[in-house]
Chains A and B, each alone.
Chain A
Amino acid sequence: MNMESAISPPMNPFVIHPAVIKEKRQEAPEIVTFRLQLEDPAIRKQFRFEPGQFNMVYAFGVGEVAISIVSDPDHPRELDHTIRIVGRTTDVIGRMQPGDRLGIRGPFGKGWPMEEAKGSDILIVTGGLGCAPVVGAIEYIFRRRENYGMMNILHGVKAPHDLLYRERFDAWRAHPRTHVWLTSDEPGKTWHYHVGVVTELFDRVQFDPNHTFVMMCGPEIMMRVASHLLSQRGLTPDRMYVSLERHMACGIGLCGHCQLGPYFICKDGPVMRLDRILPWLGKSGI
């Protein structure tokens, strides 16, 4: 074996680039947002991404995890990642402090159709705990509010305590032409929003199916049911997009882990147009 540094980093998609933690924000007990800056000025300068794309984020000596980029693509020199601490690697990452280094490979995958959706109303449907992949799209729209129409954000959780950070929804609610709808499958003492599954909210939301783009993220079964109901309301599958999650080890279509039917979610997704993925969505055991 020979040490080979002649291969320049962009040619070797496995090379991990150190990034310094500029800021750390505790969003909730188990959720942190890091603002990262790639150390190498050349890499930093060429880094471009779209909302919905992800990086492989690396903790030295531990491993890599796939994490969505939630910051704005017009400021690619700083990268925000909101990470939920769920296991071995995210646990180590969660303990890092400003000044510490994480590693980055990316950006990988396909993002949301922000250009195509320009001028349309937007319906965001999310379920479950995280849903980081849509956060980048939502923030993107709010920074360019005049380019998009009505904004409806629907978010469902299993139980009230699963609503991980309420403040963010309150902040979104404050934007013009924006409605935020929350629901919980189970009731709770302090829960004064809807009780029931997220798809029940569709009856309350006004939208024109011909001028709406849907962006969804959450359990595949939920997205399947939601897309069915939305189709009944006149939305065509080519205006509905979903973000998918699979086990990921490489991020570049080589390791085989992230497959869903004929797709590699790391390179054909994670954001996919519904009509391409519908036959596979929520199918058990795949």
Chain B
Amino acid sequence: MNPSHTASWGILNRRDFPRLLDALRTQGYRIIGPTLQDGAVKWGDIATVDDFPVGWRDHQSPGHYRLERTESFRYFDIVHGAESFKPLTFAPRETLLVLERTHKTFVATPILPDPEPLAVLGVRACDLAGLAIQDRIFLHGPYADPYYRARRDRLFIIAVQCTRALDTCFCASMGTGPQATAGFDLALIEGDADFVVQTGSEEGARLAQHLSLHPVPPERLRQEEIRMAACAASQTRSIDQSALPRALYDAHDHERWDDVARRCLACTNCTMVCPTCFCHGVEEQPDLMWTRSERARVWDSCFTPDHGYIHGKNLRPTIKDRYRMWLTHKLAAWIDQFGMSGCVGCGRCLTWCPVGIDLTEEIKELIRSRQASGS
């Protein structure tokens, strides 16, 4: 995506929406978007516009997720499911190498993912913020990851702007949403009868030429800005980042960790649904003859007992240690490591926590009493 691109706007009539799919397919893209599969929202193939979950909306709160039937004919009423954008670029399981024994030695062959062009339609601002964080980690460190790169480079991204926040959303306080401002090829705002289409890259602008867009009255753009601002204003949760990272480092011995440890099950859900968590382990799978072996990286979580294991001891034996590791990394150490918070405010870890632990509450307690005690 080209940062020097100058955005332009146009209106796509609702009945012309299928043209977008046609244009993408003509360009050789496989298209995926939010779909309903076995009662859950997941990225799935979009063959026609009817594959979008029309007539459904989601309600989320800590420990709860509910899909509700509506009369609406909008395509993008569901905000998001458990699955973030992350699996599309950082695969839950990625084969890295195949090693084969030869006469006396062995050969290691990298297995790079298929670079099939992929258009993703229905990406939220928090997803894009998560993607930017993962780019920072996998592409802009001392070693660029060729597997991530291959999955990343094939993408065409179509964002959908948020005009309704969930009870769990706090992107506004994290500065990541609800409006996507960069990182997309095209962005859509869904109205009752049409979409406002914004270009975000040269590729996006080229594709938009196939859509017979109408000019947007300036008044309409102002209305949409107001809708998105209202969405931001409706968010009730927030994280005050002004004292981070220091405040959380200083809270190492806070009693709140004991409190949250009594509730946390160390189930790893929060890390699996998080769009930014990047921990992984490597699995080795030799064949029976021990002549061929595959190495694959697999998502791991700092909540597992093995995560902090070194021979003879576990550095984080208790759930308290692990929850503290997670939150301190996410909201504090991440800033030192990557120059940005590890949380984009998507709220997934609240929703998918079986006991409804809400990190915005935890951080408030951890920082509030610190201020009270004046340390």
Contact = CB atoms under 8 A, between A and B. Distances in A.
A161 interface: no
A285 B324 contact: yes
Interface stretch (B125-133, B280-288, B357-365): B280-288
Nearest to B115: A2
Contact of B309 (A247, A250, A254): A247
A33 B317 CA distance: 32
A69 B370 CA distance: 44
Category for how many chain A residues contact B? 35 or more
Interface stretch (B43-51, B141-149, B193-201, B210-218): B141-149
Nearest to B90: A254
A4 B111 contact: yes
Interface of B is mostly: mixed
Contacts of A188: none
A245 interface: yes
Contacts of A255: 279-282, 297, 300
Interface stretch (B28-36, B68-76, B91-99, B173-181): B91-99
Interface in A81-99: 86-87, 99
Interface residues of B, number: 60
A257 interface: yes
B105 interface: yes
B97 A15 contact: yes
A253 B143 contact: yes
Interface of A is mostly: loop
B137 interface: yes
Interface stretch (B57-65, B220-228, B329-337): B329-337
Residue of B95, B101, B108, B315 with most chain A CB atoms under a 10 A cut-off: B108
Contacts of B105: 18, 20, 39, 101
Contacts of A261: 249, 333
Nearest to B321: A285
Nearest to B112: A4
A165 interface: no
Contacts of B56: none
A86 B284 CA distance: 19
A5 B109 contact: yes
A246 B142 contact: no
Contacts of B337: 262, 264
Contact of A14 (B96, B252, B293): B96
Given A7-B146, A15-B97, A1 B113 contact: yes
Contacts of B106: 18, 60, 101, 103
B137 A286 contact: no
A174 interface: no
B219 interface: no
A3 interface: yes
30 contacts: A1-B112, A1-B114, A4-B111, A14-B96, A14-B110, A14-B147, A16-B99, A16-B295, A17-B108, A18-B105, A60-B101, A60-B286, A61-B286, A61-B293, A86-B311, A86-B312, A87-B311, A101-B104, A245-B310, A247-B306, A249-B281, A249-B300, A252-B143, A254-B280, A255-B282, A257-B300, A262-B337, A285-B318, A286-B315, A286-B324
Q: Which 9 A-B pairs have the closest CB atoms?
A: A61-B286, A256-B279, A262-B336, A285-B321, A4-B112, A61-B293, A13-B143, A252-B143, A86-B311
